[in-house]
Amino acid sequence: MILVTGGAGFIGSNFVLDWLARDSEAIVNLDLLTYAGNLHNLQALEGDSRHIFVRGDIGDADLVTRLLAQHQPRAVINFAAESHVDRSIHGPEEFIQTNIVGTFHLLESVRAYWNALPQAGQADFRFLHVSTDEVYGSLNKDEPAFKETHCYQPNSPYSASKAASDHLVRAYHHTYGLPVLTTNCSNNYGPYHFPEKLIPLVIHNALAGKTLPIYGDGQQIRDWLYVADHCSAIRRVLESGRLGETYNIGGWNEKANLEVVNTLCAMLDELQPRADGKSYAEQITFVKDRPGHDRRYAIDAGKIEKELGWKPAETFATGIRKTVRWYLDNQQWAQDVTSGAYRDWVQRQYVA
């Protein structure tokens, strides 16, 4: 049995689905179901006794303590986080509460549980904390990619809150001996991605005949990681990662935002052409850049490949095609998750 937090969100739900497709080991899935948490992501598991869903907050110490005592998991994997830079700029308090205070309470509950385990159980237990490359700050065009030893220089309330949570996890290992692992990933994409992030937003807006908003000049560079590859890397780190270590997980796919959008438009032109025969690229609109927008992220995933033998299975070309096909085949999913509140937020955020 393992306990997964945030398992109804984008990466978390992909991990849960992938885990149960490959393994008979059960999962307790704790998720608060905020706007980006969606039980529809987990519909395929309806009636599956290996999946135990609990709605709740990682900061609820009584609930987490009860779940740990009842299910006796051998590992806790922490996906739970507020995760969108733009939202953190408009409302940082939720990010502080969930990503810092929530992680602290989760660590305290897990530490108490771990301390009470027999010696063999303590040796086998793992706490895996899932984090982001954004904690490292921004790179200039010619600087080498982020390694695990790169200093933390977070530039947004979101990345600062994740940096703080990473430091807490590290401290609980070095101070209390808690057997932790940390992963810092690059930009994920793939199925079940809430349509506020670049790739699902562009697909959703393109099909709806809306503008495709691009911040600034569109030359912000990100490393793109297909979510199924991320899930396989987490499994590998959980299995064989060295205690107390951090592993950067990336796709070796640096792309400028504008290049990504043009790729999506060309693919949609091929797979679901506009009725008027024009290209979706005509819907591209450049909007005011967001405050403090990091120019470039790049992950050096050499450590996890050297130590654990992991490397991504998908190129950007193969992963993005799978992603576009999934959204074309699951347009009702996108319609269901884009509520009126979401539409109001997008309208406020992307101002020309």
Q: What structural domains and CATH numbers belong to the chain?
A: 2-190+226-252+293-313 (3.40.50.720)
- Which of 31, 134, 223, 300 is the catalytic position? 134
Cβ contact 140:296 at 8 Å: yes
Q: What is the pLDDT of residue 285?
A: 97
The region of weakest confidence among 33-42, 97-106, 113-122, 316-325 is: 33-42
Tens digit of pLDDT for each residue in 152-194?
Answer: 999 999 999 999 999 999 999 999 999 999 999 999 999 999 8
- Which of 57, 133, 229, 300 is the catalytic position? 133
Q: What is the pLDDT of residue 265?
A: 98
Give the whole-angstrom CA distance, residue 65 versus residue 72.
Answer: 10
Is 133 among the catalytic positions?
A: yes
Q: What is the mean pLDDT of residues 333-351?
A: 61
Going by pLDDT thresholds of 50, 70 and 90, the confidence category of residue 133 is: very high
Q: What is the pLDDT of residue 28?
A: 98
Q: What is the pLDDT of residue 189?
A: 98
Is 158 among the catalytic positions?
A: yes
- Which of 158, 297, 327, 350 is the catalytic position? 158
Q: What is the pLDDT of residue 234?
A: 98
Sequence-ordered list of residues with C-beta below 8 angstroms from that of 118, at least 6 positions apart, any chain: none
Bridge partners, 255 (sequence order): 222
Is 350 among the catalytic positions?
A: no
Cβ contact 225:298 at 8 Å: no
Total number of residues shown for the chain: 352
Cβ contact 34:11 at 8 Å: no
Containing H/E element for 92?
helix 92-95
Nearest partner of 1 among 63, 75, 78, judged by Cα: 75
pLDDT at 249 over 90: yes
Give the whole-angstrom CA distance, residue 344 versus residue 86.
Answer: 14
Give the whole-angstrom CA distance, residue 110 versus residue 91.
Answer: 29
Mean pLDDT estimate for the chain:
94
pLDDT at 144 over 70: yes
Express as a percent the part of the chain with pLDDT over 90: 85
pLDDT at 25 over 90: yes
Nearest partner of 281 among 345, 211, 225, judged by Cα: 211
pLDDT at 55 over 60: yes
Going by pLDDT thresholds of 50, 70 and 90, the confidence category of residue 292 is: confident
Q: What is the pLDDT of residue 185?
A: 98
Q: What is the pLDDT of residue 309?
A: 98
What is the residue whose two structure tokens read 């849960």? 16
